[in-house]
Amino acid sequence: MAADPDRFNRHGPVRVSADRTHLIHAGDGTPFFFLSDTAWNGALLSTEADWARYLDDRAAKGFTAIQFVTHAPWTGALTNREGETAFAGGDPRAINPIFFDRIDRRIEMINDRGLLAVPVLAWAADFGPSGKLNVGLTSPARELIPFVHYQVARFAHRRVMWVLAGDGAYGYWQARKWNRVGREVFGARNDHTPVAMHPVGTTWPHASMDAQAWLDVNGYQSSHSEDAKTLRWLQRGPPATAWRGGARPRPTINLEPVYEGIAPGGREPFGADAVRRAVYWSLLNAPTAGVSYGAHGLWGWHDRPMAALNHANMGIGPAWDVAMAFPGAEDMACVAQLFASIRWWTLRPDQELIAAQPSVDDPMRWVAASRSETGDLAVVYLAAGGEVTIRRERLNGARQAFWFDPRTGERFACEVGERIVAPDGRDWVWVATD
């Protein structure tokens, strides 16, 4: 399902829903399904023609948002394509407006295709010698506030969701810093444009930001791993539990799951199967709001096969246009198709819907289940096929069901029975509706 180029004119800008579980359009309340592609370096390094080609591809596949970094230097790029940096002499207060002319145009092109722009305003990663490149790590709040203020003022007329900081470990002291920046920049706003944080992998800093009114979305990163500990964190850890409590409910969105093609530590590159597992688990572990996708080679906007700057341990990524055509991106088109056809915003995780997990000890066989409060909609994801028993009494409003093939988008009608058996041993989505 292609993105709607007139989306924002017809429905209005994106905001957080009244029940604070997902995003909507402010004009008429239409739910906004956040399906984002990760092009961290895209706005910095692309030609205008290549950026247009990329955005047209993502819009055609049904993506609704594009994530990118607004500044250089950062861990992934030292300058933009023209050799410009965002500020002079390492001081983020010495802003270079010419640098941001490019970013402004790239955001305009995103919005022209009905896509939400998701800029990261200050990268904050702290790993290896590249940490010194990241303004979000090295600069104190007093220097970051005018830098972030400048970007927000410059891009506020666009259709955006702000990501204040990227890939940081926002422990107690870092959380204090970012809370100060967030309050100063977003505390007195009138437009209510959503604001998120993007933390380092498998961390949940939101407890330190729980009552902060400036923060609207609990973004997280499940990271680039399928080890048992990481998967359990995604399936049963903070992303799956924190939404039930806290002082200020927020939409929960995985802003960086496993990237397709990435090969951490010399292992086999992650393929489309791993991407699908992370995406569906992320969509069903909390009230459904959305998820992100990433492809190695595209996020770094490579012009040839190469290791990304400061990411040699992640393997060689192809050129961006090769990575753009990875199979997992086609699978995201199926994600868009499925969720556009159901009332996804009514879904809440419900493990009670399943009589028993197929395997308590093997997270690769974890079955995710979500349903509407009225029981007229349910989505169950079987990561490794097989069968599972459903507590039918929790689906009183559901009268029909189908199997959804997450690789092709095909649907196969089936009964709303207590025992559901996947068509084969691959991953499948079972949907029951009214």
Secondary structure (DSSP) of 214-227 = T--BEEE---S--S
Helix or strand or coil: residue 288? Answer: coil
Burial of residue 409, with CB atoms counted within 10 A of its CB: 0-12 exposed, 13-18 middle, 19 or more buried: middle
pLDDT of residue 210: 83
Reported as a single tens digit per residue, the pLDDT across 82-121 is 999 999 998 999 999 999 999 999 999 999 999 999 999 9
pLDDT of residue 373: 93
- Architecture, CATH, for domain 7-343: Alpha-Beta Barrel (3.20)
Q: What are phi and psi of 197, to 5 degrees?
A: -120, 145
If pLDDT is split at 50, 70 and 90, which confidence band does 433 have?
Answer: very high
pLDDT of residue 1: 58
- Contacts of residue 134, defined as CB under 8 A and 6 or more positions apart, other chains included, come to 74, 75, 122, 123, 124, 125, 126
If pLDDT is split at 50, 70 and 90, which confidence band does 265 have?
Answer: confident
If pLDDT is split at 50, 70 and 90, which confidence band does 58 have?
Answer: very high
Q: What is the mean pLDDT of residues 49-63?
A: 98
Q: Tell me how crowded residue 360 is: count the other CB atoms within 10 A of its CB.
A: 9
pLDDT of residue 416: 84
Reported as a single tens digit per residue, the pLDDT across 367-413 is 999 999 999 999 999 999 999 999 998 998 888 999 999 999 999 99
Reported as a single tens digit per residue, the pLDDT across 184-226 is 999 988 789 999 999 999 999 988 888 899 999 999 999 999 9
Residue 428: strand pairing partners:
382
For residue 247, pLDDT beyond 80: no
pTM (2 decimals)?
0.97
Q: What ranges do the domains of the chain cover?
A: 7-343, 350-433
pLDDT of residue 245: 82
Q: What is the mean pLDDT of residues 351-364?
A: 91
Q: What is the mean pLDDT of residues 16-27?
A: 97
Mean pLDDT of all residues belonging to the chain: 95
Asked if residues 116 and 158 have their Cβ atoms less than 8 Å apart, the reply is no
Reported as a single tens digit per residue, the pLDDT across 150-165 is 999 999 999 999 999 9
Counts for the chain of helices (H) and strands (E), in that order: 12, 21
- Architecture, CATH, for domain 350-433: Sandwich (2.60)
For residue 73, pLDDT beyond 70: yes
Residue 254: strand pairing partners:
220, 291
pLDDT of residue 298: 98
Tokens read off for 144: 């970051």
d(CA 402, CA 406): 12
